[in-house]
């Protein structure tokens, strides 16, 4: 079974530029998550989708970050414009459901973003 | 506020020695608890999880964890460390969303 796919793996941009990350979850997984992992910290949830609806985006900086999950499968996370403090690894994860009892999340390899 | 704390930022252990990583949580009720491992350039891999029942949980790669309600702890252990265990380890808790500790980096020396 294929895992969670993410691209690109690495991205370097200058501040004020825009960038987009793509995620393809495990087939059949209804729930998709985007996390931001700053160096030296644990991952922090940015947004959670259930199918193509947003469940939780309370920690998403909505003035510059946006995410969508059209058709309830692939997802794109965008940053526009990027700031230096956005340098981080962006992890995508998916799970079958949102029920905590079965909420095993499977993580992709991440996209490492460097903002200069 | 709800939180997960990993007191040790970095641990160095000799190959073949035992390893214990500490994790404390602060939640109103006992959340679901997890340990993940992250190797360089890799995503997070689930080592084990605790939902309820037996307080000693067995995981993959020879790891186990013990849940202690009285201490609000969920410490990870391995009896004999291999060089391939060098990685970053994250404790996480889930009540309605998954929250991670800051991680512990494990270095294995020959």
Question: What one-character DSSP code corresponds to residue B54?
Answer: -
Residues of chain A with pLDDT under 70: 1, 98-103
d(CA B23, CA B33) in angstroms, rounded, equals 10
Rounded to the nearest angstrom, the minimum Cα separation between A3 and chain B is 10
d(CA B89, CA B78) in angstroms, rounded, equals 13
Summarised one tens digit per residue, pLDDT across range A82-110 is 999 999 999 999 998 766 556 689 999 99
Selected residue of B2, B43, B46 to mutate for chain A interface (largest A Cβ count, 10 A): B43
Residue matched to tokens 């495990």: A26
At A98 the pLDDT is: 66
Burial class (CB in 10 A: 0-12, 13-18, 19+), A14: exposed
Q: Which of B4, B90, B94 sits opposite A103 (nearest CB)?
A: B94
Rg of chain A (C-alpha set): 13
d(CA A37, CA B43) in angstroms, rounded, equals 11
Query: CB B98 to CB A103 under 8 A?
Result: yes
Query: CB B43 to CB A91 under 8 A?
Result: yes
Structure tokens at B34: 């997890």
Summarised one tens digit per residue, pLDDT across range B61-99 is 999 999 999 999 999 999 999 999 999 999 999 888 899
Name the interface residues of A facing B (CB cutoff 8 Å).
3-4, 33, 40-45, 48, 56, 91, 93, 100-101, 103-110
Which runs of consecutive H residues, i.e. helices, occur in A7-114? none
Rounded-to-10 torsion of CA A66, A86, A98, A3 = 100
Q: What angle do CA A76, A1, B35 make, to 5 degrees?
A: 75
Mean pLDDT of chain B: 94
As a 3-state breakdown, chain A gives helix, strand, coil percent values, each rounded to 5, of: 10, 45, 45
Query: CB B44 to CB A43 under 8 A?
Result: yes
At A70 the pLDDT is: 82
Rounded to the nearest angstrom, the minimum Cα separation between B17 and chain A is 26
- Percent of residues, chain B, with pLDDT higher than 90: 81
From the CB of residue A36, how many other CB atoms can be counted at a distance below 10 Å? 21
> Which candidate, B103, B110, B108, B107, places its Cα nearest to that of B37?
B103
d(CA B103, CA B110) in angstroms, rounded, equals 23
Closest-approach residue (CA) in chain B for A43:
B100
Spatial contact of A65 and A17, defined as CB atoms under 8 Å apart = no
Structure tokens at B48: 């084990």
At A101 the pLDDT is: 59
Selected residue of A42, A47, A99, A108 to mutate for chain B interface (largest B Cβ count, 10 A): A42
Q: Which of B42, B100, B101 sits opposite A109 (nearest CB)?
A: B42
């Amino acid at each position: 079974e294929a895992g969670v796919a993410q691209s690109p793996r690495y991205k370097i941009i200058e501040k004020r530029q825009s960038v987009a990350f793509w995620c393809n979850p495990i087939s059949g997984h209804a729930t998709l998550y985007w996390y931001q992992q700053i160096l030296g910290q644990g991952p922090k949830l940015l947004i959670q989708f259930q199918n193509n609806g947003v469940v939780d985006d309370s920690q998403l900086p909505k003035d510059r970050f946006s995410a969508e999950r059209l058709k309830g499968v692939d997802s794109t996370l965008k940053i526009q414009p990027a700031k230096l403090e956005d340098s981080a690894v962006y992890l995508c994860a998916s799970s079958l459901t949102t029920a905590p009892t079965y909420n095993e999340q499977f993580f992709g390899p991440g996209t490492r973003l460097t903002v200069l | 506020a709800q939180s997960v704390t990993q007191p040790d930022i970095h641990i160095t252990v000799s190959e073949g020695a035992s390893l214990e990583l500490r994790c404390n949580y602060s939640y109103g009720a006992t959340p679901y608890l997890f340990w993940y491992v992250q190797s360089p350039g890799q995503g997070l891999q689930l080592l084990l999880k605790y939902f309820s029942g037996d307080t000693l949980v067995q995981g993959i790669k020879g790891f186990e964890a013990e849940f202690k309600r009285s201490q609000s702890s969920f410490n990870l252990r391995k009896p004999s460390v291999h060089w391939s265990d060098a990685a970053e380890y994250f404790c996480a808790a889930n009540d309605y969303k998954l929250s991670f500790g800051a991680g512990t980096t494990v270095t294995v020396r020959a």
